Amino acid sequence: MAKVSMAGVGEFCHHYPRVATIVTVHAKGKDNAMAAAWHSAISINPPIYGVSISPRRFTLELILEAKEFGVNFMPTEQAELIASVGGSSGREGDKFQRFGIVKEKPLKTSVPILKDAYACYECRLMDHKTYGDHVWVVGEILASHFEKELFTGKQVLNLERVSPALYLGAELYTIPAKDTIRHLDRKVYGKR
């Protein structure tokens, strides 16, 4: 095979799939939720997480007000909800009411924890910086919530029990394969 090479990135979908999340916030007496696939762990100790958000998003305005946000990891059964919160704005009304989103109690912040998430991080805003047309929002994870029986003892997702929603770009979603898991220890392979 030979690669196509080009300046820039074209449709910018090569980097998918990515776990599709719902970012939540509570501010100005309101809850809000948005879809986000551009997110990453940043640091282990302290645990820090980042998410890229368009400045057009109402959620960003609320996060900068509240100085906290939640990152909710959703199973494939909730992919329709991800598309719903991704295609609507909290400026038009309460998405929690409209889409029947059920909340659970946070531990360290006031961010909504989604009942249907298999895991959620509560983050306190540490920093935000504009890069190009988005804002990179960085938060320390103060607390985590997860469905214990969906994870192994090492807190790795048990794919026999839960399938995270993976976004592929172009409004397409898939899940990870269950039957292809391999253990490749870097300590062993690094010595080849």
Residues facing residue 68 across a β-bridge? 124
Check residue 127 for interaction with its own copies (CB under 8 A).
yes
What's the closest the beta carbon of residue 114 comes to its own copies, in angstroms?
10
Pick the binder of its own copies from 64, 103, 124, 142 (CB under 8 A).
142
In the numeric block, the tokens 């890069």 are attached to 131
CA–CA distance, 90 with 96 (Å, rounded to integer): 9
Query: DSSP code of 189?
Result: H
CA–CA distance, 118 with 99 (Å, rounded to integer): 18
Nearer to its own copies, 29 or 185 (CB): 185
Tokens of 87: 């295609």
CA–CA distance, 53 with 31 (Å, rounded to integer): 17
Pick the binder of its own copies from 30, 64, 83, 128 (CB under 8 A).
83
Nearer to its own copies, 14 or 29 (CB): 14
Cα angle value 129/134/138 (rounded, 5°): 40
Pick the binder of its own copies from 77, 93, 94, 98 (CB under 8 A).
98
Check residue 62 for interaction with its own copies (CB under 8 A).
no
Which residue stretch of 24-32, 58-66, 180-188 sits at the interface with its own copies (rule: CB under 8 A)? Answer: 180-188
What's the closest the beta carbon of residue 63 comes to its own copies, in angstroms?
16
Check residue 91 for interaction with its own copies (CB under 8 A).
no
Give the helix/strand (H/E) hosting 142.
strand 134-146
Check residue 73 for interaction with its own copies (CB under 8 A).
yes
Nearer to its own copies, 29 or 87 (CB): 87
Q: Do residues 50 and 42 lie in contact, with contact meaning Cβ atoms separated by under 8 Å?
A: yes
Pick the binder of its own copies from 58, 64, 76, 103 (CB under 8 A).
76
